[in-house]
Every structure is written in structure tokens, then in C-alpha cells.
Amino acid sequence: MPQPEHSLHQVSDQVAPQNSRQVPWPSSGLTRVPFRIYSDADQYALEQERIFKGPTWSYLCLAVEVPNPGDYLVTSVGEVPVVVARSRTGELNAFVNRCAHRGSLLCLKRRGNADTITCVYHGWSYDLAGNLTGVAFERGVKRQGGMPEGFRRSEHNLRKLRVAEFCGLIFGSFDQDMPDLETYLGPEIAARIRRVLRRPVKVLGRTTQVLPNNWKLYFENVKDSYHASILHLFFTTFEISRLSQKGGIVVADDGGSHASYSIMDRTIDNADYREQALRSAKDDYRLEDASVVEGVDELGDGIMMQILTVFPGFVLQQHLNSIAVRQLVPRGVERSELAWTILGFADDDAAMTERRLKQANLVGPAGYISMEDGAVGGFVQRAVHGLDEDCGLLMMGGSDSRSQQFRATEASVRGFWKKYRALMGT
């Protein structure tokens, strides 16, 4: 029996009123998404205010990237440039990377170590908590000029974010009244982060790619367990992930965060794919070096593939023994940036480090698996123009956003839109 459309009135009683600038939705349900939502400039501007500067926790960086007092790192929340800094007493701080004077960028390098942060434009300086500590020629020159008598440095500190750390991941929020980070994640998502990031990590590498599409198209994609073994020939051909293998999806109560997982079983044949006449049905290829797809079950639960997201732009991956975090940053209506940080554990031996690095070639901008994801978002972006009245369909696996014990579903994508619409007030 078909399930009833999920009503957004059940999601939140604190959403903002409908804004006439927003893209209209065809119903209160989650199965039809207007194509215009990926290309509308007004919608994009509202997302920056209501989502990225609203009541959400955004991933900033890894704690291991700012390990020492005085360390700082430049990142972003939405389109807002942000600095994460560890004070001389060890506290983590985050603040907008923009001088309070004339709006210049403060930190021009991605990483560094400093006692103070000084603007190159006019010499205003700040401590590692974002407090204004110095103004060049504040009292003028030879008793001429300078700031007025009523000027108070304490009234011109940098805009600060609330900061939280979980399993070595640093998140920030512009909303000072947000629930704590673990509550935001929910118990099931928090447990699945702990499952992967179970001991201290080390950074093995970093890469960044520019995506020719709206940020929402990538975040939908990474939540979409249905496409993975259809689009990605490598998955099915080399028996890494097929929808016929055991697995499922976990969706947070508010819909925003999710985890999809599968248990690799090489005894399952490719019959289901051949029956569908899919291009991913071929199974007569073999790798010269099979170690790139040979995983070690480090956790003993048989799960060799897990993709986890935290709304609005964080991804944690476990592909075999390749572990990475991804940060999705919007860079315009039709452009986004995806930063990958490839991880190992501090106590890995040389053989495991080599395995993790080799299997990291499965993903990333030119990965055997995920290079298609970098292209398909652009295919959608190019196709949605001129179709303002049309909608995409999200009906696989029903109409709600509940966790499910299978992956031929779009429930976690519907969960994204559940959270999105609650925050946007539609």
C-alpha cells in the first residue's frame, strides 16, 4: 500500500513564514522537488541566511589540523570565510575571517601559527579569540586624527561562532542558542561517527575539487544510495557494492543527517543488474592489482562501505579501508567546492597506511568511483534551466524519510528536503 505523503507541518512548528522570494513547492510532501530550486539566485541567498548562518552545525576542520597553541586554519561556513584558532591556553575558537574595520580578509594563508592576527590593510590586530587588541594610530599622529574619544575596542570584536568538537571533528554555528552538537547529530548518527573515528587520526592527504553545480545537487547525490551501483561501474564490476548485498540506511529524526552502509559479499552474482540491462552489469573485467579492492574488516562487523552525512555539508566516508572527511562549500548558485581530507589512524603500521592511500584512489576528483559524481551534478545543472514549472521525483522506497533495511530507496534524500524545508520555512 502506498504510504501517505509526509506533511512538513509535522516537522517543525518554528519555521519562518513563507517568503515570496522563495521557489514555490508543488505540495507539502517530499517526493517532488522543483528544478528551479537549483538555479534561483534569491533562493540561494536565503539559504545562506537561514541554513548556513542559521540553526545548524557546520563542519570546520579536524582538531588534528590545529593541534598546538597558536595554530589557526582558514575554512568556510557557507560563503562566509572563517578562521579556527587554538588559543595559547588551548581553547578552540572560530570567528569570521574579515576585519571589523573595512572588511578585508585577515588570514591569507590556509594554515599558520601566530600570537595575534593583524590586518594587512590598516594594521588592526586581534587575539586568537577574535577580540580586537590593537588599532594602528588609534590616538592619531602628533595629536592629529585618530579614533574618536568614545571608541571602544571591545565593541568591534570579530563575529564569533559557537564551537564544538566531536570525535576529533570541529563544528561551528552562528546560532549561539543551538542544542549541543551530539544532540544535533542524534544518537544513531553519533554512534556511526564513533564507529569510524574510534581512535586518534592522522592526515594522509588533502585534495579539493570545484563542482559545476549547486551545492544541493552534490549533497543529494551523496545521500543517494540508489544511484551508486548504477552510475559507478567500478562498484558493481569489482563486487564492492551492489544493491543486492546486505545493507541499509539510517536517517536522523529531523531528516538532515544520514548513514548508508553495505556488507560486501562477493558470492552474490550480477543477475539483478543484467536483468535491468544496465551498463554496470558487466562482470568480465579483472584488476591486475586486486589489492585496491581488498579490504580488511577492522571493526569485525562486516561493513566495508559506509557514507555518512551531517547537514548541511559534511561527509564521512569509509570505503573499504579508505577513510576521509569531505567538506561541501557553496561558491555560487551553480558552483560548489568539495574538500577531501584523507585520513589514517595515528597507530597504523606502514602496511595499513599504504593500503589506505592505495584505496583512496577509489574516490576523490579522479577516483575510480567518484569521478562520475563530479560530472553528473553538472549534467543536472545544465538541464534544469528553462524548466521552472517542472519537478524531480523522489519516490523510490516510499514517500517518507525513515530508516530502512535496504538501499534501493531515496528516503535519505527525502530526509535532506525535510530538514531543508523546515529551516527555509516552506
Spatial separation of the C-alpha atoms in residues 16 and 425, rounded to whole Å: 4
Q: What is the mean pLDDT of residues 36-49?
A: 97
CATH of the domain at 356: 3.90.380.10
Spatial separation of the C-alpha atoms in residues 145 and 135, rounded to whole Å: 13
Instruction: Grade residue 16 by pLDDT with cuts at 50, 70 and 90.
Output: very low
Residue pLDDT, tens place only, 73-123: 999 999 999 999 999 999 999 999 999 999 999 999 999 999 999 999 999
Instruction: Grade residue 11 by pLDDT with cuts at 50, 70 and 90.
Output: very low
Q: What is the mean pLDDT of residues 158-173?
A: 98
State the pLDDT at residue 156: 98
Q: Is 285 exposed, middle or buried (0-12, 13-18, 19+ CB in 10 A)?
A: exposed
Which string of DSSP letters, residue by residue, matches 3-23?
A: PPPPPGGGT-S-PPPP-TTSP
Does residue 17 surpass a pLDDT of 70?
no
Task: Give yes or no: residues 322 and 274 share one domain.
Answer: yes
Rg of the chain (C-alpha set) = 23
> What amino acid occupies position 99?
C
Domain for residue 28, yes or no? no
Domain for residue 215, yes or no? yes
Structural domain range at position 417? 187-424
- φ, ψ of residue 16 to 5 degrees: the values are -70, 155
Domain for residue 269, yes or no? yes
Task: Give yes or no: residues 385 and 328 share one domain.
Answer: yes
- 419 with 254: CB under 8 angstroms? yes
Domain end call among 164, 197, 232: 164
Please enumerate in sequence order all residues whose Cβ is within 8 A of that of 277, keeping only pairs 6 or more positions apart, or say none. Answer: none
Domain for residue 404, yes or no? yes
Task: Give yes or no: residues 248 and 199 share one domain.
Answer: yes
| Domain tally, the chain | 2
Return the closest-CA partner of residue 360 out of 350, 351, 370: 370
Residue pLDDT, tens place only, 352-393: 999 999 999 888 777 777 777 778 889 899 999 887 789 999
CATH of the domain at 120: 2.102.10.10
Instruction: Grade residue 183 by pLDDT with cuts at 50, 70 and 90.
Output: very high
3-state secondary structure 283-316: CCCCCCCHHHHCCCCCCCCCEEEEEEEECCCEEE
Task: Give yes or no: residues 284 and 365 share one domain.
Answer: yes
State the pLDDT at residue 278: 53
Task: Give yes or no: residues 92 and 234 share one domain.
Answer: no
Domain for residue 125, yes or no? yes
Task: Give yes or no: residues 131 and 211 share one domain.
Answer: no
Return the closest-CA partner of residue 76 out of 60, 98, 100, 56: 60
Domain end call among 105, 132, 164: 164
Task: Give yes or no: residues 150 and 274 share one domain.
Answer: no
C-alpha cell at 111: 594554515
State the pLDDT at residue 110: 96
Task: Give yes or no: residues 353 and 256 share one domain.
Answer: yes
Task: Give yes or no: residues 300 and 362 share one domain.
Answer: yes
Task: Give yes or no: residues 125 and 224 share one domain.
Answer: no
- 321 with 356: CB under 8 angstroms? yes
Share of the chain above pLDDT 90, in %: 71
Task: Give yes or no: residues 353 and 211 share one domain.
Answer: yes
Return the closest-CA partner of residue 369 out of 383, 384, 359, 381: 359
CA distances from 10 to 86, 333, 417 (A): 41, 30, 14
Q: Tally the residues of the chain.
A: 426
Does residue 151 surpass a pLDDT of 80?
yes
Task: Give yes or no: residues 109 and 221 share one domain.
Answer: no
CA dihedral 87, 98, 166, 325 (to 10 degrees): -120
Spatial separation of the C-alpha atoms in residues 353 and 370, rounded to whole Å: 21
Domain for residue 31, yes or no? no
Does residue 36 surpass a pLDDT of 60?
yes
Domain for residue 51, yes or no? no
Q: What is the mean pLDDT of residues 381-408?
A: 88
Q: What is the mean pLDDT of residues 326-355?
A: 97
Spatial separation of the C-alpha atoms in residues 381 and 374, rounded to whole Å: 12
